[in-house]
Amino acid sequence: MLEIALVLGTIVAVGILGFLTTIITPRLMTAIGLWMLASGLLVGVPTGFWYHVLLYRVLSPRIALPPKWWWAPADLHPHLTGPELSRLKPWFMIGGIGFVLSVVGGLAAMAGLLVR
């Protein structure tokens, strides 16, 4: 469900960004996009990394993690207890928000550059 919401949010954001390029100057659009990209990376990368570290620390003593488990860590959430999941969920959400912010910022910067 979260993934669907993220995809729909990204599609809406792309539409809004396309509309904004007709309202604000391309230079400002590029600057806003680059700031959003940088903010998303500054938020998403450390929190996403810490989420993966915590998930590994919780699950590795209990189960053998599959190869390349970090590509789809949400598939491992059923192995977590309620308190463990509630401990990891904020990091998961903040990392996802940072990812979406960086994607939208990158798209905004590209849109601003292409309109020039």
Is the pLDDT confidence value at 70 over 70?
yes
Is the pLDDT confidence value at 116 over 70?
no
Read off the pLDDT band of 114 (50, 70, 90). confident
Amino acid at 109: A
Residues 101-114: what's their mean pLDDT?
89
pLDDT tens-digit map of 1-60: 778 888 898 888 778 877 877 788 888 889 999 999 999 999 999 999 999 999 999 999
pLDDT tens-digit map of 89-100: 999 999 999 999
* pLDDT confidence of residue 93: 94
Query: In which domain, by residue range, is 22 found?
Result: 2-115
Domain tally, the chain: 1
